[in-house]
């Protein structure tokens, strides 16, 4: 094999990753998969968390540090205070408790401090390629692309409607104006939206993958054990049926709709229990509603779990209640785990309809949602044959290793192209 050469000379291509934080979301998981599954002889990674104290528990920080891939954010008291204050200001602003202008000065100072840290990391690491993984960090990535002329890859974090919901309404317009400075956009469902704002198709790295099939296979090989142990952990009867939801406790994830459907379902499926993996700002609201509906014994909000696969292996059904996005990593994981699914039709092309492993119902329609869940659980096999359709599709199309291979080839190509262009300019 020809020796891989980065801009810095013989050896691995150096990739600098910029990401908002290191909590347990899908973007963070994707970053971790890139680093743990790519070849150390071909790629060297360095991760800079823009707001290391902002995203709650830094789920992947220790694992990245053990691999020598995490840039030390430093221990400055000013940095910690700024990121935490900005985080609280963002929460209160989104609730309408304070006007947005009050948080602007803090954001400017915090972003300036983050920019200095990124610049220092850039100088020390001397990357061949920069990869910006979320909304705020792509601005820094574009700035670095302009100043240092390093190739920039950007993972589009979500659909445009989700950006609006998350108060990143400026991001699509930024794509429109600055896409000449972004070399590749990595995305799945946002492909058509990127095209609509003028991003050239040649710049779009289209990929839906993201599931570690080896990990799923190991969990499914122990399905009977996980089935027993998870029910024991939650204090459920051995014959309890589990409808699983995975996702942040946020209004856009639609957990409240599953909760509203639960009393209807218990009338038809008394053994049903709803289990939710995730944490977020809607916890108190959901817990209060659980008490109001009188379903405390059947609704279990158990928080974030870094290993969701034992719960996927123990579940009977997956509830995809997202109101904006049709698909995400958790949904793909549920497919790989062979779970039949009921989901809301968000108006986008949807794998539930394509694969046929469950039912789509009108967005936000609680009675239709409850009826679809009951139909699957009334089947003789409780939907296991449907789940097998999902598993077969995942094995053909959703392997994270294929996704990592596609991306790492992109890194190498951009690095070589940039090196060749630099050499030509110097000549």
Tell me if 5-210+399-426 shares its fold with 213-397: yes
Give how far Cα 172 sits from Cα of 165, 178, 193, 197, Å.
Answer: 13, 10, 9, 7
* CATH (residue range 5-210+399-426): 3.40.50.2000
Range from 81-85, 234-238, 341-345 carrying the lowest mean pLDDT: 81-85
**311 Cβ partners below 8 Å, 6+ apart?**
226, 230, 242, 244, 246, 275, 277, 305
- Inform me whether the pLDDT recorded for 340 exceeds 80: yes
Average pLDDT, the chain: 87
Give how far Cα 33 sits from Cα of 44, 197, 231, 344, 399, Å.
Answer: 14, 29, 29, 28, 11
Cβ–Cβ < 8 Å for 389, 353: no
**DSSP secondary structure letters along 15-55:** EEEEES--SSSHHHHHHHHHHHHS-TTTEEEEEEESSTTTS
Range from 71-80, 275-284, 293-302, 402-411 carrying the lowest mean pLDDT: 71-80
Average pLDDT of span 389-394: 97
Taking the C-alpha atoms of residue 261 and residue 263, their distance in angstroms, rounded to an integer, is: 6
Topology of domain 213-397 in CATH is Rossmann fold (3.40.50)
- Inform me whether the pLDDT recorded for 96 exceeds 60: no
Q: Encode pLDDT of 60-85 as tens digits.
A: 888 899 999 998 766 555 555 555 65
Per-residue model confidence (pLDDT) at position 421: 57
Average pLDDT of span 401-421: 88
Q: What's the pTM?
A: 0.86
- Inform me whether the pLDDT recorded for 292 exceeds 60: yes
Q: Encode pLDDT of 127-185 as tens digits.
A: 999 999 988 789 889 988 999 999 999 999 989 998 888 888 889 999 999 999 999 99
Taking the C-alpha atoms of residue 340 and residue 338, their distance in angstroms, rounded to an integer, is: 7
Domain range annotation of the chain: 5-210+399-426, 213-397
362 compared with 85, residue with greater pLDDT: 362
Taking the C-alpha atoms of residue 165 and residue 162, their distance in angstroms, rounded to an integer, is: 5
Cβ–Cβ < 8 Å for 52, 22: yes
Q: Which of 130, 100, 125 is nearest to 16 (CA)?
A: 130
Could you tell me which residues are beta bridge partners of residue 272? 241
Cβ–Cβ < 8 Å for 362, 346: no
């Amino acid at each position: 094999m020809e020796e891989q050469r980065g801009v810095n000379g013989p050896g691995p291509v150096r990739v600098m990753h910029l990401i908002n934080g290191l909590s347990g979301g899908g973007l963070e998981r994707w970053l971790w998969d890139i680093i743990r599954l790519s070849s150390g002889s071909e790629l060297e990674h360095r991760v800079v968390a823009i707001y290391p104290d902002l995203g709650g528990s830094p789920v992947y920080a220790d694992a990245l540090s053990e691999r020598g891939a995490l840039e030390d954010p430093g221990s400055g008291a000013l940095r910690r205070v700024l990121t935490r204050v900005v985080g609280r200001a963002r929460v209160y602003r989104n609730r309408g408790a304070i006007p947005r202008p009050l948080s602007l000065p803090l954001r400017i100072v915090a972003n300036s401090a983050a920019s200095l840290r990124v610049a220092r990391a850039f100088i020390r690491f001397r990357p061949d390629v920069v990869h910006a993984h979320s909304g705020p960090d792509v601005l820094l990535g574009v700035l670095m692309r302009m100043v240092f002329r390093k190739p920039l890859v950007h993972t589009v974090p979500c659909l445009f409607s989700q950006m609006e919901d998350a108060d990143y309404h400026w991001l699509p317009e930024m794509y429109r104006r600055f896409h000449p400075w972004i070399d590749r956009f990595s995305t799945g469902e946002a492909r058509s939206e990127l095209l609509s704002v003028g991003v050239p198709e040649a710049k779009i790295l289209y990929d839906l993958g993201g599931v570690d099939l080896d990990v799923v296979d190991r969990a499914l090989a122990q399905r009977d054990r996980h089935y027993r142990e998870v029910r024991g952990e939650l204090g459920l009867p051995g014959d309890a049926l589990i409808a699983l939801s995975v996702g942040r406790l946020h209004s856009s994830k639609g957990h409240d709709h599953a909760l509203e459907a639960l009393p209807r379902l218990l009338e038809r499926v008394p053994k049903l229990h709803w289990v939710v993996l995730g944490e977020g700002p809607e916890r108190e609201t959901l817990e209060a509603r659980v008490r109001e509906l009188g379903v405390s014994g059947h609704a279990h909000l158990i928080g974030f779990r870094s290993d969701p696969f034992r719960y996927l292996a123990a579940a009977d059904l997956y509830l995809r209640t997202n109101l904006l996005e049709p698909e995400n990593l958790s949904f793909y994981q549920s497919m790989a785990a062979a779970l039949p699914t009921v989901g809301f039709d968000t108006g986008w092309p949807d794998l539930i309809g394509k694969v046929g492993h469950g039912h789509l119902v009108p967005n936000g329609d609680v009675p239709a949602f409850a009826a679809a869940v009951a139909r699957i659980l009334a089947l003789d096999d409780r939907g296991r044959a449907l789940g097998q359709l999902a598993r077969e599709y995942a094995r053909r199309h959703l392997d994270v290793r294929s996704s990592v291979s596609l991306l790492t080839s992109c890194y190498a190509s951009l690095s070589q192209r940039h090196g060749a262009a630099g050499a030509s300019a110097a000549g």
